[in-house]
Amino acid sequence: MNEEWQGPLEKIDDYRWRLPKSYKSGMRVDGLIYADEKLLKDIRKDKSLDQVANVAFLPGIQKYSIAMPDMHWGYGFCIGGVCATDPEEGGVISPGGVGFDINCGVRLLRTRLTQQEVLPKQRELVAQLFRDVPCGLGVGGQIKFSQADERKILTQGSSYMVKQGFGRPEDILCTEADGCMEGADPSAVSERAYERGKGQVGTLGSGNHFIEVQLVDQVYDPSLAQFFGLEKDQVTVMIHSGSRGLGYQVCEDSLRKMAGCPQKYKIALPDRQLVCAPLDSPEGEVYLSAMRAAANYAWANRQVLTHLVRQAFVHLFRRGENDLGLDLIYDVAHNIAKMETYEVKGKKKKLCVHRKGATRAFPPGHPELPERYRSIGQPVLIPGDMGRNSYLLVGQQGAMEETFGSSCHGAGRIMSRGQAVRISRGRSIQKELEAKGIIAMARGRGGLDEEQPEAYKDVNEVVRVVGKAGISKMVVRMRPIGVIKG
């Protein structure tokens, strides 16, 4: 059992806590934690609050070192961590603030199908998705690309896949950053990364990645739900995956290349996992170029996964794609660093915002939002675990003022994968889920054991915090009826 964290936390209100910079000598800013009393009990059980304090040491950090209510221990940064650095003040980029699975993210599709139409084919649908979507550790896809194609994927992202026939032009408009980060440089990606990513576009992967068939079971804002074309008992599909082996290798390469940067640039760090480099340094620029390429790879991956999901529905229901709907509502990144403009102490600044297990949540009127969503705010997608709910929210002005336009990204683990496997001995997670009306399929038993609902916080409590704190607004809740995992 981990020893409970005993550091100082000052209660701001029921959903915000301050970790004062006096906690550790060298902290440049306070920590700001979003949680209620109940969630805080779990948060105190690991070292993630210390990681919030450690991030506050980074040169050029602005306002706060921030953590969302799904926060838990990660590499360098906690998962659920947000930090913005100013290049004009010696601001740095830290691979630990992006994560290994670069641009791991989620997209949500709406269908024209209802509960009554899908439940009789529930098991068949999950089996069809499992057959049609490659999933599992290291499993390659059936769609092959040449090395020249792969370089185009790294620079063009989703749009390249749509040009190849894997999706619709409107999918691009409903993807964060139009599914492509400018400034990506394929030459900054190592041969080893190319090798690890080879054949993995259009593959789900393992771990917490999933495709989930869901039913809208709660509508919180009827007018916004109608805007999104959603109503109770409607079927939706959520896809969660990232940059696969390529993104992991980009992170590993960058950590190795940056190992000497703290000494070179005289940066004092409390944790070597926070290795970083100034944004305008050669090392920082190379990492950003490679990270952007990996992010584009991830968007391309989710675009092909969307195509495979659409094909599976068409095959099973024997209806045309347009008749079934399967329209993309939005795609959000979870692990990424982006240059964005914010007001700090009355001055507009272009900052590097690290989101590590956090979701962008821009409010109504933000110029980077697609025109169709500018009046209501950015769709924010929060998946839960296999046994509970997922959410569609929209960004609020509070996020721009407090969290650098960010919200939480999921439920957040409270149990390691090893612990989850140990407590599942003698049980069948698959049968337990089926007893709840959820059909689950995975490559091996371990995938379901590691990702069982007990391994996670209750996403309903997590989402309640960001809603009450005014950084995201709840629109609808979905419950799972079928899931495939690696």
Q: What is the pLDDT of residues 147-168, one digit of tens each?
A: 899 999 999 999 999 999 999 9
Strand partners, 344: 347
- Extract long-range pairs of 279-285: CB within 8 Å, 24+ residues apart: 279/60, 279/85, 279/87, 279/91, 279/92, 279/93, 279/352, 280/87, 283/257, 283/258, 284/92, 284/93
**Residue 219 and residue 272: Cα distance in Å, rounded?**
45
In the prediction, which pLDDT does 155 show? 98
> Averaged over 105-112, what is the pLDDT?
98
Contact criterion met (CB below 8 Å) for 352 and 337:
yes
In the prediction, which pLDDT does 140 show? 75
Pick 426 or 349 by higher pLDDT: 349
pLDDT band at 141 (very low <50, low <70, confident <90, very high): confident
**Residue 13 and residue 132: Cα distance in Å, rounded?**
48
Comparing C-alpha atoms, which of 354, 355, 278, 282 is closest to residue 60? 278
Helix axis angle for 282-317 and 122-132, nearest 10°, is 130
Is the overall model pTM greater than 0.85, yes or no? yes
pLDDT band at 2 (very low <50, low <70, confident <90, very high): low
Q: CA angle at residue 225 from 322 to 376, to 5 degrees?
A: 105
Other C-beta atoms closer than 10 Å to the C-beta of 328 total 24
**Residue 326 and residue 237: Cα distance in Å, rounded?**
8
Can you state the percent helix, strand and coil of the chain, rounding each to 5? 40, 25, 35
> Averaged over 284-290, what is the pLDDT?
98
- The per-residue pLDDT for range 380-395, each reduced to its tens digit, is 999 999 999 999 999 9
Comparing C-alpha atoms, which of 62, 6, 38 is closest to residue 462? 38
In the prediction, which pLDDT does 139 show? 76
pLDDT band at 146 (very low <50, low <70, confident <90, very high): confident
Residue 111, H or E segment: strand 105-114
Q: Answer whether residue 1 shows pLDDT above 60.
A: no
Q: Answer whether residue 292 shows pLDDT above 80.
A: yes
Contact criterion met (CB below 8 Å) for 242 and 105:
yes
- The per-residue pLDDT for range 74-106, each reduced to its tens digit, is 999 999 999 999 999 999 999 999 999 999 999
**Residue 377 and residue 364: Cα distance in Å, rounded?**
4
Arithmetic mean of pLDDT over the chain: 96
Determine the CATH number of domain 10-485. Answer: 3.90.1860.10
> Averaged over 37-48, what is the pLDDT?
95
In the prediction, which pLDDT does 456 show? 94
**Residue 59 and residue 55: Cα distance in Å, rounded?**
9
Could you tell me where the DSSP H helices lie in 318-437? 321-324, 397-402, 417-423, 429-435
Contact criterion met (CB below 8 Å) for 157 and 299:
yes
Please give the structure tokens belonging to residue 94.
């830290």
Residue 147, H or E segment: helix 147-156
pLDDT-above-70 percentage for the chain: 100
**Domain extent listing, the chain:** 10-485
* 409 assigned to active site: yes
In the prediction, which pLDDT does 144 show? 86
> Averaged over 12-27, what is the pLDDT?
98
In the prediction, which pLDDT does 446 show? 80
Contact criterion met (CB below 8 Å) for 468 and 439:
no
